[in-house]
Chain A
Amino acid sequence: MADGNRVWALEVEDLTVAYGDQPVLWDVDLQVPTGVKMAIVGPNGAGKSTLVKAAMGLVKPVAGEVRIFGRSGDGAEGQIAYVPQRATLLWDFPTDVIDVVTMGTYGRVGWIRRSGAKERKQAEAALEQVGMAEFTRRPIAELSGGQQQRVLLARALVQDAPICILDEPFQGVDAPTERAIIEVLDGLASAGKTIIVVHHDLQTIPEYFDSVLLLNVRAIDSGAVADVFTEENLRLTFGGRVGVLATSGTGEV
C-alpha cells in the first residue's frame, strides 16, 4: 500500500450491467484496497457473480469503468486468479486433477506452447497446499464437491496473481474443505494478496473476512466489516427478511 496517492487493487466506477433489458447491476461503485479479504453478499439475483465477471471483463457493461491496480482495459491480464462457481463447470470432462490445476499456468505459458515439467511442479505444490496431493491422477468426474472446490482453488494458487476472486467457494462443500479453503485464503492475505469472495453465509462473515460489500443490484455499502456489517445495512440489502444478525450470536434462522 503506497502512502499518499493510493492505488486500489480493484476499483469499480458507475458500473451498470444489463442482460437484455433487465438491469443486474445499477451504477455500482466499489473500491477494494490491496491486501483485504472482502466478502460480496446479497440476496439471490443481486448481481454478485455478474459484478466479479464484469471486474474481469467477462461481461460487457452498459456503462462504467473497472480499474485493476489503476489500469483499465486489458491491464487485468495475469492480475486476477479466478475460481468460478463449481456448479457451472462440466465435471464430466475427461481430464484429471493435475491437468486442471496445470491450466492455471496456461496464462503465462502462452499460445501454442505446452506446459512442461516446471508447470507440473508448480501444480503439484499447489495440490499439496490444498491437501489434495494424493489425488493427482484422479479423474475429476470421481471427485466429491469439496475435492472439486479444492482443485479449483489449487488452480488459482498456481496462477500466483495479486488478486484472487472466488465465486461461492463454500457452496455445498464439507466442513474440512471449508476450513482448508479459509486457511489457504488467510495465507494468501498475509502474503499481501487481495481476496474477493462471493459469499452466501452471513454468519461466518465477521470470522472469515475483514471487509464486505453489501450488494443488491446497487451497492448498498462497502468497507470494513466492523463498520458496514450492521443490522440496518443488512435490512437494506435483504429487504427485511433477514433474521441472522452478526450481533445476536445465536445464529438461528
Chain B
Amino acid sequence: MDLFGDYTLRLVALGSAILGATSGALGSFAYLRRQSLLGDAVSHAALPGIVLAFMLTGSKVPLVLMLGAGLAGWIGTLAVRLVVRRSRVPYDSALGIVLAVFFGVGLVLLTHLQKQPESAQAGLESFLFGQAASLLKRDVVAMAVLGAAALTILVLLWKEFKILSFDSDFAASIGLPVRRLDGLLTLLLVVAIIIGLQTVGVVLMSAMIVAPGAAARQWSRRLAPMVVTAALIGVTSGVAGSLLSSYVPRLPTGPTIVLVLSVIVVVSLLLAPGRGLLWRSLKIASLRTVPDLDPVLMHLYALSHQHPDDPDHGHPVAVIRTMSLPGANIDAALEGLASRGLAERTPGGGWAPTAIGRREAQRIIDREAGEGP
C-alpha cells in the first residue's frame, strides 16, 4: 500500500493531482473575479447532464458522462447570464436559482433511474460525492488531456485573462473582445470542474475551485506566483487526500481531499505573512494610536468656520485633541496632514487647514452627502 507499489493508488493519486492542478489554477481566476459561487453553480448544474448522458446513450464511459456534465454546466452558466440580463434578479441570486433548479432536476432524474428494475445505472449516484476508486486508466488519460488543454489556453492568453480580471473596462478600451474572453474563461472553469466530478463529486467540487485560490492569495503578491501556488496546493491536497484515504479504511477519497484542502486554507488565513489574521492583529495593535487623517482634517475645517473672515486662524493642538477619540496621536496626524499639504502650522503655534485642505474637507462632506443612505 504505497504510492509506487499500488497501481490503483497510483492512478487515484495521479488523477487527484491533475484535478488539483487544473481546479487550483483556473479557480484562482474565479476567486479573483469574485465568481466563487459560479463554480458551485456549474458543478451542481452538471448532475442532470451526467444522468441525461447516461439515459440517452446507456453508456457509463466517463468521457460520455463528462461531455454531458460539461454541456449541462455550460448551459447553466448561460442560464445565469440570461436571468441576469432579462430580469431584475441580481447575479448571486441568479446563481442560486440555477444551482437549485439544475441540481433538483438532476436528483429527480437520478431517483427515477434508481427505481428502474435493471441495475445498469448502478454507480451514477457516486457522482454526488465522487468515487475515486472507480478511476480507470482511460479516465485519468482523459483528465490529463482536458487539463493540459485548459492550462495551455490559460498560459497562452495569460495577459488577456489577467487584464480582463483586473480591469475589464480598460481591457475593452484597448480593443479586447471582453465578452468572448469572459466566455472562454468560464468555459475553462467548466472543464476544470468536469475533470474533478468523478473523483470529488458535484457537491464538493466547488471547494476545489475556490479554496486553493483563496489559500494561495494569502501567500502571494503577484498573479503568476498565486496561480502556481494554487495549483500546487491543489496537487498537494489531491495526493495527500488519496494517500490518507488509502491508509485509513473506509475513508472516502473525495471528501478527504477537500478536508486536507480546508486545513491548508485555515492555516493560510491564520498564518500567512502580511495578510494572515495573526499578522494583521499584530499590525493593527501597533497602528492603533495614529488616527485616520480625515477626521482630524474635518475638525480643523469645522474650527476654521468659527473665523470666516480669517481662514488662516490657528487652533491649538489641545482643542483638536479634545475633539478626537481619547488616546489618539493627534500630533502625528497633524504632521501627516502637513506633509500632504492639507494643513499648516500657524505663527502662533496652532494649526489651520490650508486652502487645499479646506477644499478637500468640503469635498469629503459633499461626497458623504451624495453617497450616504
A-side interface residues toward B, CB under 8 Å? 44, 53, 56-58, 74, 76-78, 80, 82, 84, 88-90, 93-96, 99-100, 103, 106-107, 109, 111-112, 114-115, 139, 155, 159, 171-172, 174-176, 178, 200-201, 203, 251, 253
Contacts and interface: CB of A to CB of B under 8 A. Distances in A.
Which bracket fits the contact residues of B? 35 or more
B248 interface: no
Nearest to A138: B221
B272 to A, nearest CB: 12
Contact of B359 (A90, A100, A107, A203): A203
A93 B165 contact: yes
B217 A82 contact: no
Nearest to B357: A175
Given A94-B217, A111-B160, A175-B340, 11 more contacts: A77-B175, A82-B170, A84-B169, A90-B32, A93-B223, A99-B222, A103-B166, A114-B158, A139-B222, A174-B360, A200-B363
Given A58-B169, A253-B362, A94 B221 contact: yes
23 contacts: A44-B370, A56-B172, A56-B173, A76-B175, A80-B173, A82-B169, A82-B173, A90-B165, A94-B217, A94-B220, A94-B226, A96-B222, A99-B222, A103-B162, A106-B163, A112-B156, A114-B159, A155-B170, A175-B341, A175-B356, A175-B357, A178-B356, A253-B362
A242 to B, nearest CB: 12
B174 interface: yes
Interface in B123-172: 156-160, 162-163, 165-167, 169-170, 172
B25 to A, nearest CB: 14
B163 A103 contact: yes
A99 B169 CA distance: 17
By secondary structure, the B interface counts as helix
B170 to A, nearest CB: 6
B180 interface: no
A232 to B, nearest CB: 23
Contact of B170 (A84, A95, A99, A176): A84
Contacts of A112: 156-157
A194 B106 CA distance: 57
B112 interface: no
Nearest to A43: B370
Nearest to A252: B308
B167 A89 contact: yes
Contacts of B223: 93-95, 99
Given A90-B32, A176-B341, A96 B221 contact: yes
A84 B167 contact: yes
B115 interface: no
Contact of A172 (B167, B173, B367): B367
B342 interface: yes
A237 to B, nearest CB: 16
Contacts, number: 97
B275 to A, nearest CB: 9
Contacts of A176: 340-341
B28 to A, nearest CB: 9
Contacts of B360: 174-175
Contacts of A93: 32, 165-166, 223
B89 to A, nearest CB: 13
Given A56-B172, A93-B165, A107-B174, A201 B363 contact: yes
B175 A107 contact: yes
A86 to B, nearest CB: 11
Contact of B342 (A76, A95, A171, A175): A175
Given A58-B172, A80-B173, A82-B170, A139 B341 contact: no
A176 B341 CA distance: 7
B43 to A, nearest CB: 24
A58 B173 contact: yes
Given A89-B167, A115-B159, A176-B341, A74 B175 contact: yes
